């Protein structure tokens, strides 16, 4: 039995604590577990409406000419891959970082890329990397994390290890044939946090580096100095659409406002 991680669930605006959409005694149809929405040309957002919106992550599929890119993998409560709009071409799976809300279905893919700083976490799915216990413990769940069906036991649920097949680092390219993403290493929220930038389209897949809500910089593995440096980089980043790891998409001026607000709060 793991001890609960010694960090508080941060206070967020009340809207992030809405109750699960159905009372816990009612169950969603499995075919409704994920929703997919087109958010930009060739890019589809997949998310989990049945997961409380505090943890509900945004996962993105990019269809390319020679390969598809899958960026992040939801909670792993329900198999993800069958729900994704994949084309049947090879899939390059890239994890933004190792927290449970982003990597539950990472193991469903053969080609798995992530930053070396979190490689051990992907391979072990240890609590220190995923923070799973914080999400499913009696203290925080099931009010914050409901099981997907009545036979599902959150207490014995384990994440499936997903060792990286290749590490990626700052400046690397992920080439889909007709579009290319550059890897940005932006630690702070987590040590190996990455974002992917399509410089041509001006689209940033941001993971948990930045999203339009309170940013978490006191988790195990977080670093406020690193986060400040990452935010400084974002201020100068040339892009026009930010597809974040949580919540709504936003534009560059909003990204700059969020980055400035973070810097002001921590300096």
Site residues, Zn ion (CB under 5 A): 57, 99, 101, 208, 245
Q: Before 142, cis peptide (omega within 30)? A: yes
Which residues, 6 or more positions from 225, have their beta carbon under 8 angstroms from its beta carbon? none
Least Å from the CB of residue 77 to Zn ion: 15
Least Å from the CB of residue 7 to Zn ion: 12
Q: How far is CA 217 from CA 9, 95, 240, in A?
A: 12, 19, 25
Q: How far is CA 62 from CA 41, 42, 45, 109, 175, in A?
A: 9, 6, 9, 15, 11
Return the number of the residue (188 or 245) whose C-beta is nearest Zn ion.
245
Return the number of the residue (175 or 212) whose C-beta is nearest Zn ion.
212
Least Å from the CB of residue 19 to Zn ion: 20
Neighbours of 95 (CB within 10 A): 27
| Distance of alpha carbon 90 from alpha carbon 4, whole angstroms | 39
Least Å from the CB of residue 219 to Zn ion: 7
Return the number of the residue (93 or 201) whose C-beta is nearest Zn ion.
93
Return the number of the residue (137 or 222) whose C-beta is nearest Zn ion.
222
Least Å from the CB of residue 101 to Zn ion: 4
Least Å from the CB of residue 97 to Zn ion: 6
Q: How far is CA 253 from CA 39, 198, 206, 241, 245, in A?
A: 19, 18, 15, 10, 18
Neighbours of 173 (CB within 10 A): 10
Return the number of the residue (99 or 185) whose C-beta is nearest Zn ion.
99
Task: Report the residue closest to Zn ion, judged by CB.
Answer: 99
| Distance of alpha carbon 79 from alpha carbon 29, whole angstroms | 14
Least Å from the CB of residue 89 to Zn ion: 27
Return the number of the residue (104 or 245) whose C-beta is nearest Zn ion.
245
Q: Identify the CA nearest to 71 among candidates 37, 100, 91, 95.
A: 95
Return the number of the residue (208 or 213) whose C-beta is nearest Zn ion.
208
| Distance of alpha carbon 57 from alpha carbon 77, whole angstroms | 13
């Amino acid at each position: 039995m793991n001890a609960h991680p010694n960090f508080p669930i941060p206070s967020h605006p009340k809207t992030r604590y809405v109750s699960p959409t159905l009372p816990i005694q009612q169950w969603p149809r499995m075919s409704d577990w994920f929703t997919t929405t087109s958010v930009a040309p060739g890019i589809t957002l997949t998310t989990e409406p049945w997961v409380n919106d505090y943890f509900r992550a945004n996962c993105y599929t990019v269809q390319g000419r020679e390969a598809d890119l899958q960026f992040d993998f939801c909670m792993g409560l329900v198999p993800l891959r069958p729900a994704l709009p994949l084309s049947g071409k090879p899939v390059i799976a890239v994890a933004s970082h190792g927290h449970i809300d982003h990597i539950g279905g990472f193991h469903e893919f053969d080609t798995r890329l992530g930053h070396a700083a979190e490689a051990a976490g992907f391979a072990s799915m240890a609590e220190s990397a995923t923070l799973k216990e914080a999400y499913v413990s009696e203290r925080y769940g099931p009010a914050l994390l409901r099981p997907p069906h009545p036979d599902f036991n959150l207490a014995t649920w384990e994440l499936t290890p997903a060792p990286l097949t290749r590490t990626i680092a700052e400046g690397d390219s992920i080439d889909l044939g007709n579009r290319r993403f550059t890897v940005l290493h932006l630690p702070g929220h987590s040590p190996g946090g990455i974002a992917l930038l399509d410089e041509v389209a001006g689209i940033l897949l941001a993971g948990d580096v930045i999203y339009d809500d309170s940013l978490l910089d006191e988790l195990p593995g977080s670093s406020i100095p690193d986060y400040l440096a990452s935010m400084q980089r974002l201020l100068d980043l040339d892009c026009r659409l930010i597809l974040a790891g949580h919540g709504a998409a936003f534009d560059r001026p909003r990204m700059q406002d969020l980055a400035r607000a973070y810097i002001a709060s921590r300096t």
